[in-house]
Each structure stands twice: as C-alpha cells, then as structure tokens.
Structure 1
C-alpha cells in the first residue's frame, strides 16, 4: 500500500499528526510524518515547528546526535527559539555535558522566562554546584511562575515565543472573568508595549499601580514605557515615589537615572549610576547606562572606560562593544576585534551568545573593519547584523507605502484649504521648529547649528507628535481619516497640549527644536494643530543617506533600515510624501540639503534662520563649541567642526550595493 496516500495534506495537519504520534510514543512515525511534510515546503518559517517536533522525536528515540544536528539547523532559521535551546540542554545532559547543558538551559530562560522546566533544571544545577546566589534567583522565578494563574502562565509563554495576538486573546479572556487581576493586567500591558499600542499599555500600568501600589514589577514596566515614550519627567517623578517604598532598588534607581539623562540632568544621573554600581557589585548593565550618560554629556573618555568595564563584567556583551563603535570615533584594538570575532564563532554563537548580542557584535565588527579599510569584511558583518535584526522585527515596507498613500488621499488640496480657513481654531504658538527626514541625513548637525542660536533651545527626538498620531489611530486604525470629521476645538487643544507637554525639555528660549525624523509622515497633522510651526526637511543624497542608515543599529524604531531594499523603498516613500506636502502646503517646509550645508555653511545657516524669522548669530558657525546634551549617534560628530569625509563613504562598498541602487533608481 502506498503510505504517502495517508500522509497529512497540509503542514498544519502534519504537525498535529506528528505531535499525536509523539505523545503516543511512536517516534519513528512522527519523524516520517515530519520528513514528508518538510519535503513539500519551501518557506523556512513553515519549517520551524515541524523541525522542532522532529528534533524532540529524535531525542526521545535516543538518537542524540541527529537531534543536536536538527536543533542547530533550526537555530539558523529561528535563532530566538527558546525551546530549541531547552532541547539542546536536554541533549547535552543526556551526553553528560553538564556545563553545556546548564548554559543552554540558561539561554532558554533568557529567551523565554516562562519555561518552568528549564528553571527547575537550572535550580538543580545551581544546588549541585553550590552557586547560592544563582539558586536564590532561580527559586524566586520558579515560585513566581508557579503562583501565576495557569492561563496567564500559558499566555506569558505565548508572548515570549512571539505569538503576541494569541497571548493577547488568552489574557483578555482571563480578565473578563478575573477583572483587575494584577498578573493579567501587567501581562496585557506588556503585550500592548510589544505591539506598540502604548496608550493602552500606559492606561493599564497606571491603573495597575493605583490598585497595587506595592507591585514593583508594574512600577518598573511603567517606568520603561514612560522612557520609551519620551515622558522623562513623569518617569523621574514616579521613580522617586517608588524609591520611598523600595529604597535602593536597582531597577528603579537605573530608571530614575535614565529619566534624568533624558531631562538633561546629566551630572545628577551620573552620581545616581555610581550609587547603583556601589550597590550592584558593578553590574555590566549599569556600566553601559553610565557610558551612555557620559557620552550624552560629551565626556567621551569616561564613556569609553564605562563601556569597556561593561564588557569586562559580562562576557559577549554585544551592546557594550556596539556602544564603543557608536561613538563614531573609537578605534578598536586587535585584541577587541579578536574577542568579538570569537563571540561570533559559529559554535560559541549557538551555545552561549544571545541573538541580541550577536546583532550588536556584528554591527560593531562592521565598524571596526570599515575603520581599517577592510570593506568586504565590514560589509559581511553589517549584512549579517542587518539580516538578524530584520528577522527579529518582521518589517513590511508595504505598510509605509500604504500610509503615505493614505496621508496623500486625506490631505488633499481641498482638505488643506478647509484647514487654512479654520486656522483660527488651532494653537498659534510659533515656538516649535520640527526637523524631519531620514535618520543619518544630517538632522543632528542642523539641530546643533540652530541650538547654538541664543533664541533656540535644542531638545531631542520628541515622541509627542507620533504619540498623538498613535492615539488618534486607535485600535481601529482610523488616522488620518478621522481628522476630516474631528470637532474643530480639538485642533487648538492638541496644539496647546503639545506646547505644554514639551515645555519640560526647554530652557528659556522662545523657540525650540523637535528633531524626530519620522514626523515627516505627520506634517499635515502638525499644520492642523500648529499652523505657525516651522518645518525643516533634512535631505541627504539617497545612496549616502541610505547606506549610512543601513550601517547604523538604532536603539529602537527605524525598522525599515535593516535591509538595503527596505531602506531604499522608505527613502522613495519619504520623497513622495515630502513632494505632496510641498504641493498642498507650499512654503510650509524648508528643504536643507546636507551637501549644501557642508559646501556653504554660512549661507545655509542664514537661509534657515531667515525661514524661522531670526537674525544671524556667529555662534551658529561655531556650533561645535555649544555645550548641550546630545543623545543621537551623531553626538560626537557634531561636537567637531564641519568635515566632508563621510560624503562618499558608501562608494567603498558599491560592489555590494546593487539592491539599494536598483531600488533608488527612480531618483538616481
């Protein structure tokens, strides 16, 4: 009889059939079912769970080496799969590789802290090895997981495995019958943050703290969200309140210090980080944050030392190495390059270096090799880092293209004319100067130049306009359509709220800069609520701008930058959007080309100041002497006089840039 006729017809059916065979101890049948299904598949994502079941079946049948090989192949497709590391741990334990097993169990718990089996295995290992401190941590996590309602434990597991919508649905069903249960509220907020529904998450966490003021986990999650949203004053105030009850709590101390950096209170933040270090036994993570604070203050030597202390304290700490590279002026030693290359070695990577560390290390190695003119090696590392990052964020360029089309449709000439007629209902404050564009287009340089003027305050990349757009969008994705029917009084309210909420970032100057580059999508909204605002489009030559973005690992957002095709398409969409604004809002936006600034600094400064309505000041020419907090990757570059060395840097990589050039061809 032809057994293939009995094979399941779809990957989903094959997976269910293989799991059933596995649960019944029919391991060979499970392997056969999976193998047949895999032969029919081309998409790597569809293969992941099937391969995982096959690996489990091989382990349970006693074929340890085959299982190890399958798991390692799996990690090439799904490097963040926690249960694969758990499987490797079981296999290493079967082969009496105790230390390797412990490392893999630990890696599994870092990727998915809800894996009880791995925590229990680690606890046994720590007890046997006499590691009391680690034993206490493992036991605390086991106690926490065991205390969770089963539905919430399952939902947490789903969240950590990337199944956010399933986790959200399960959590909401639980809260329907267990209203205000703290674990459910906290988890739903965490899922909201992961889905970038920040307004919902903020409401949940604020409510959670009101109901359960002693819940430290909710407090720390709330502080993280506030900082992510750029609401540093609120984060500082709440951290101060929490520290009254939780004196010297490292997580809260660090969150308060980070908020203070955001507010420009650098010296006090540095003191607080040093206090945290005295309590933590010199934590690598706190050394990293201390380095960021020093860098923001322009104290580069101190920042470098802190970053080096961070990687000394934690083996393979990719963020510490990348932070050194991200100073843009640090030169790695031979020993540091060898160390990073060692962490990226295939075997080391699979067994002990996290995906996040791998990403940071590859970007750092790209910069290290570029500095030494090893351009092929540099591109190889940039490419690997970008591929890993893009795999993690799942960016879809079609969404941005659709958003641009939607903005163009809603903000038609007819609608704009109607807005202008109703301008009396908006907030007429002239204070904001928005600098928009793509990251790495020279916006930080423009900000530093303008902030050197006595009547302009520099701030940072403020999240307020994007937060307003997200709030208007809501869960039904109604922005920008809903602006056509919004009651006129809301225009003034939103504009005034923006002015009020951003006041904390200002000094005493009549004007201030908001340099969130992504605001180019929302120029229509800005015109609606702040008609007297000034907008500067920081424009840079397409190839140079896009490749500079491709080389940059951003702290968050900018998900379009991790593929040459994606960043090229984003640039096209950005140009399309800006052309539309120029057509429907003539003279509302001033385009400033980066190359023109480099060639004619004084002339471009006068042009920008004339656009804002201010007299020229020579301090703008000496912008590199201006002392202020700068948190973007270009912080050290804008503390130096104008230089042109970066204009054509991409040309050394042209042999690798065909996908970018092809995408940008309409502009080249």
Structure 2
C-alpha cells in the first residue's frame, strides 16, 4: 500500500468518524429522523460496519421499532465480541423492555470485558436493584461510584438498595453525594427525608421533606415523610396537617389517611372521618392493596367510636385481602421454632460456656409483636448508659455472615459441629453491624421482636447479654396484631388461626429459653409494667445489672424516634387503656378464645361467650 492510498484511507476514516459523531449528536438531541438519514447514507457505503450498525439499532429503538432495533444490536454483539458499548446498549434496551433477567448476564459480561468502565457497573447495579438482588447491587454500584462519583443515578440507586434492605444510615452518604451533583434532585431530598427519619435525625429529615415539597409541591411522597417525621417528634397536630395535605388524592390518599387515622382518635366530625366515608363509597373500584388499607382504617375509626362489630368486620376483610397477597407458611414457621428449641439445650449451653464476647452487653427486647417491646425500648432509651437501637437486623446479619453456624440452624450440619469460635465469630459480626449503624455503647438495646427465637444463641455469643421476653395477655396481644395492617411484613397476623398457632409456638419457645438460661433470659409482663412502671423497671434493671434512673419512667421525652406502629401510643404517658381492650370485643372473638384453649382462664372464656 503506497502513501497516497494510506492517506486516502485515513481521510475516509476521519470522515466516517466525524459523521458518526454527528449522528450521535442528533440522537442525543432527539433528532432521530436526521440521525436515521445519516445512518442510512453511511450504511449504503459501509453495510457491514459494526459501529454504524450499532447506531442503526439504537435509532430504530428510539423510533419505537423495538424488535428490529434489538435484532440489529444482538447481531452486532454476536459479531463484534469486543464492542462493550454495543453490549451495554443492547442490555440496557433489554432491561427497559422488561427482560431484566436476560439483561443482567450481558451487563456482567460488559463488566468483565471492561472492569474500569463505570457505566457497566452502574447499569448492572440498577438491573440488580430491579430484581431485588440488593447485596449484589450494592457491590456493583459502589464500584461504579468509585470509578465515577458524578453519576447521579448511581448514587440514587445505591441509596435505594440500602433503603430497601433497611440499612437507612448507609443510604445517607450516597444521597448527600447525589445532592452535590444536583442540589435540586427531588428524589434525593425525598429519600433523604426517609433515610434520616429512620436513622433518627429528625430535624434534618424534616428539612429535606420540606425542601422536596418546595421543589415539587404537587408530589405526595414528601408530605407523607414529613407527616411521619413530625409524628415521631411528637408534633401530632402538625403531622395531621401534613397527612391531610395528600389524604384526598387518588392513589396516595388512602395510605396517608390510614396513617392519620392511626395517629389520633377519630370522631364523627373529624376531617379524616369525612374523607374516609368518601373513599368508602369507592371501595369496590380500588386495587386490593388500597382496599385492605381502607378496611383497616375503617376498622380503627369504628373502634375509636365504640362500634366493635363494624370494626371487627373491617379488620377481618382487610386481613383476608392481605392473606391472599402474602400467604403465611405455617409449617415452615413451626419447624423453625422447633429447631431452635432442639438446638439450645442445657447440655449445649454447658458445652459453650466459654464462648462469646464480653466487652459488650446487648439488651435484647423481644417477644410477640405488639407485646410492649416498643414501650420497653423507649424506657431504656432514657437511661444514660444505654444506646437504643430499635428493631435491628443485627442477628440476621450475623447469621448470614456465619455460614457454618447457619448450616447447623438449617440442619445441614450436626449440632456437635458448633464450636466456641463459631459463636464468638457470630458475636463479632453482630457487633460489626452495630458499629455500622453508629451503635458503639457498651449497652445497646435491640428490640427486634423475633429475637426470642435466637435468645439462646445470643446469650451464649454475649455472656453479658440480657434478654427480656415481653409477655402480654394473649387475647390483647393477638387482637392488637389482628388490628394492625402489617402488609407483607407479618403475614401470620392475617388470620385468627395462624395468629393463635404462632402464639402457641412462641409460648413453647419462650418458656424453653427462660428455663435453659434463667440468668440471662427472663419474662417481662406488659400489664405489670403498665400498672407499676417504677417497681417493674427497678426489678428489670437489677436483672440487667444497671442502676435504675428516674428518667426511664418519662419515656415520652426520649430523643429516639419511634418508627413502628406504636408511635402514637409511646408519645403519651404510660396508660392502661390498651390493657384488657379485648374484653370490649367479647363474643366477637369466640374463635380466638376457643383456639387458645388452656392459655385462657375460665373467666376469659366466659367473657367470650364460652363455657357459660
């Protein structure tokens, strides 16, 4: 090849590159028709050029010719194995077309091909978030952010992965980075309002909710977060005003209205009741989730106004809808309870007395949901030496990080394979979770209700730990659960039968744990705490090994927010109106009383219309 030929080829290549750049500018500016004409002109000269075919496929997709466009991109990917950009574009349009499962391997191939290309990691992470594979998504998005910290979507998606796995404090940093990229990002402000609320940084949460409202005054979600934050701060009237702002809107109106009704007592002349009746007229036209929300709200309103029959009718209807959406596997639940009882035996305890971490002393507050765990945690949060953690996923995290111990729990390895080192390692992972959440006190309270299942393991992993298993009259406890709209979070609560069976399993497991480790695990009776808070807390503090402090009785001044269904109750002084509330419902709960059997007294059964 002579020099003039090489010069001619170089000139031709330069012209093609300039034309490609022009086509890309057309596409980026939305001038799809102009781009298409230029692409066709180039293809007439270079029909097999992979980059031009890549642009052709993109243009067809942008024009709405989905099948043709994807077919061309697939051909380019097959024939040009090193074209990472075509691979990313092909996978992106697969994902946008709803075929995320097919897109993920393509993104993974792009990442392997170009490990330092931020866009590949970013798109892989986004696809993994869609598929709820959050831990993998966090890894990919963290890598993308390290390669290019200026990608707004990366920071938002990373935060979303943390939020959806309830690691709210860890969502805060990427959201602030998102705001550094775009200070007017409504999504960043809205998610910061949520993450800061759940991380108990309430004033900051309120600021970002209000900023989101300024930027998007018609958006409902920031009003919802503002209402939740104000309620957690105890500013109930302001919270009610925030919920009322969006309680009359389609779609978001019912959840906001339901939240408002759960915040305060409903009366016939309250604005929320009038809205409730307006929505009730449209109930049959609503999707299932909103119908369930509305039935629970109607149940609460009827309960407030003393109409127990209407209340129970609505609670049963709301739970029936939720049960269809989120079935409960009763057999698996019973097997898990039995497994924990069979693992932690007196012999097992004696064998592992030398295990565990001694430098921290978790205070584990657990029991059936709605048994008083929130009240107890709030009281501990007022103690000068206790850092209240709320409902922590620490035990679940520690098990996931302890595969050998997890195999034993799942009966894939014999109980005899458990070593002291395994239990100590479990404790170290639990402590790592606490530190990641900013909990570094010697005494940290953890009020995850189902920790009663793992009380024995926790006690051995932390020889100084104390486990308080809350107990409440079963009729009050189960009725309170049945009246609460847990959605997918607690499917056992959607029927009387499953609730009773879960309670019976809880009772067996809790009795076993207390009998096996009485120096570390004890019962706390909710009704006794309500009747004599000072006497009970003095006794509890003796068991925990900390001095009693008078401030513990004034839990309404706790600086820790309440993010559970109990928020409207724990912001009031300790009260007895929830004690024996079930008696108001009497014969309406015959099925519950009959199934509880020996767990009730003869007088309890008589009140329900049994054994009269």
TM range (shorter): 0.7 to 0.9
Give the match for residue 536 of structure 2.
604
Give the match for residue 289 of structure 1.
225
- 1:452-492 deviation line (CA, Å, top 9, x unaligned): 22222323111111232345469x97645468546644543
Separation in 2 of the partners of 1:339 and 1:203?
A: 45
> Any conservation in 2 of the 1:294–1:300 contact (CA below 8 Å)?
yes
- 1:162-201 deviation line (CA, Å, top 9, x unaligned): xxxxx6xx666666766676656533443335xxxx5455
Structure 1 position 205, deviation (Å): 4.8
Separation in 2 of the partners of 1:332 and 1:506?
A: 45
Give the match for residue 97 of structure 2.
153
Report whether the alignment pairs 1:464 with 2:394.
yes
Equivalent residue for 2:518, pick from 582, 586, 595: 586
TM superposition score normalised by structure 2: 0.74
Q: How does 1:188-203 map to 2 (within 5 A)?
A: 188-192=128-132, 199-200=135-136, 202-203=138-139
> Any conservation in 2 of the 1:432–1:533 contact (CA below 8 Å)?
yes
Give the match for residue 313 of structure 2.
380
Separation in 2 of the partners of 1:237 and 1:176?
A: 26
Give the match for residue 88 of structure 1.
none
Structure 1 position 262, deviation (Å): 2.4
Q: How does 1:49-88 map to 2 (within 5 A)?
A: none
> Any conservation in 2 of the 1:466–1:519 contact (CA below 8 Å)?
no
Structure 1 position 622, deviation (Å): 3.2
Give the match for residue 186 of structure 1.
126
Equivalent residue for 1:272, pick from 178, 196, 208: 208
Give the match for residue 573 of structure 1.
505
Give the match for residue 518 of structure 1.
450
Structure 1 position 369, deviation (Å): 0.8
Separation in 2 of the partners of 1:339 and 1:272?
A: 28
Give the match for residue 227 of structure 1.
163
Give the match for residue 462 of structure 2.
530
Give the match for residue 51 of structure 2.
none
The structure-2 alpha-carbon separation of the partners of 1:383 and 1:171, relative to structure 1 and needing over 3 Å to count, comes to: farther
- 1:409-467 deviation line (CA, Å, top 9, x unaligned): 333333222221x32xx211343111000111111121222222222232311111123
Separation in 1 of the partners of 2:146 and 2:327?
A: 35
- 1:571-611 deviation line (CA, Å, top 9, x unaligned): 11111211221233232212001111122222211111101
User: Which region of structure 1 is more displaced relative to structure 2, 144-153 or 465-474?
Assistant: 144-153
Equivalent residue for 1:640, pick from 551, 563, 572: 572
3-state SS of paired residue (2:130): helix
Structure 1 position 565, deviation (Å): 1.4
The structure-2 alpha-carbon separation of the partners of 1:615 and 1:236, relative to structure 1 and needing over 3 Å to count, comes to: same
Give the match for residue 350 of structure 2.
417
Equivalent residue for 1:299, pick from 235, 241, 249: 235
> Any conservation in 2 of the 1:560–1:566 contact (CA below 8 Å)?
yes
Give the match for residue 358 of structure 2.
428
- 1:62-88 deviation line (CA, Å, top 9, x unaligned): xxxxxxxxxxxxxxxxxxxxxxxxxxx
The structure-2 alpha-carbon separation of the partners of 1:494 and 1:581, relative to structure 1 and needing over 3 Å to count, comes to: same
Equivalent residue for 1:370, pick from 286, 300, 303: 303
Structure 1 position 657, deviation (Å): 2.4
What RMSD in Å do the two structures reach over aligned CA positions?
3.3
> Any conservation in 2 of the 1:428–1:530 contact (CA below 8 Å)?
yes
Equivalent residue for 1:248, pick from 156, 175, 184: 184
Separation in 1 of the partners of 2:95 and 2:560?
A: 49
Give the match for residue 407 of structure 1.
340
> Any conservation in 2 of the 1:410–1:480 contact (CA below 8 Å)?
no
Give the match for residue 393 of structure 1.
326
Unpaired segments of 5 or more residues in structure 2? 1-63, 65-87, 113-119, 601-612
> Any conservation in 1 of the 2:94–2:103 contact (CA below 8 Å)?
no
The structure-2 alpha-carbon separation of the partners of 1:188 and 1:335, relative to structure 1 and needing over 3 Å to count, comes to: same
The structure-2 alpha-carbon separation of the partners of 1:147 and 1:626, relative to structure 1 and needing over 3 Å to count, comes to: closer
Structure 1 position 510, deviation (Å): 4.4
> Any conservation in 1 of the 2:168–2:198 contact (CA below 8 Å)?
yes
Separation in 1 of the partners of 2:402 and 2:173?
A: 27
The structure-2 alpha-carbon separation of the partners of 1:365 and 1:462, relative to structure 1 and needing over 3 Å to count, comes to: same
Structure 1 position 506, deviation (Å): 6.4
Give the match for residue 46 of structure 2.
none
Separation in 2 of the partners of 1:435 and 1:393?
A: 27
Give the match for residue 382 of structure 2.
452
User: Which region of structure 1 is more displaced relative to structure 2, 302-311 or 577-586?
Assistant: 577-586
Separation in 1 of the partners of 2:294 and 2:547?
A: 46
> Any conservation in 1 of the 2:398–2:429 contact (CA below 8 Å)?
no
Separation in 2 of the partners of 1:147 and 1:172?
A: 7
> Any conservation in 1 of the 2:427–2:462 contact (CA below 8 Å)?
yes
- 1:591-639 deviation line (CA, Å, top 9, x unaligned): 0011111222222111111011122222233333444422222233223
Unpaired segments of 5 or more residues in structure 1? 1-119, 121-143, 157-166
Separation in 2 of the partners of 1:210 and 1:372?
A: 56
> Any conservation in 2 of the 1:436–1:515 contact (CA below 8 Å)?
yes
Separation in 2 of the partners of 1:205 and 1:477?
A: 30
Separation in 2 of the partners of 1:477 and 1:208?
A: 33
3-state SS of paired residue (2:485): coil
Separation in 1 of the partners of 2:539 and 2:530?
A: 14
3-state SS of paired residue (1:636): helix
Separation in 2 of the partners of 1:354 and 1:448?
A: 37
The structure-2 alpha-carbon separation of the partners of 1:299 and 1:145, relative to structure 1 and needing over 3 Å to count, comes to: farther
3-state SS of paired residue (1:543): helix
3-state SS of paired residue (2:359): coil
3-state SS of paired residue (1:401): helix
Structure 1 position 269, deviation (Å): 1.4
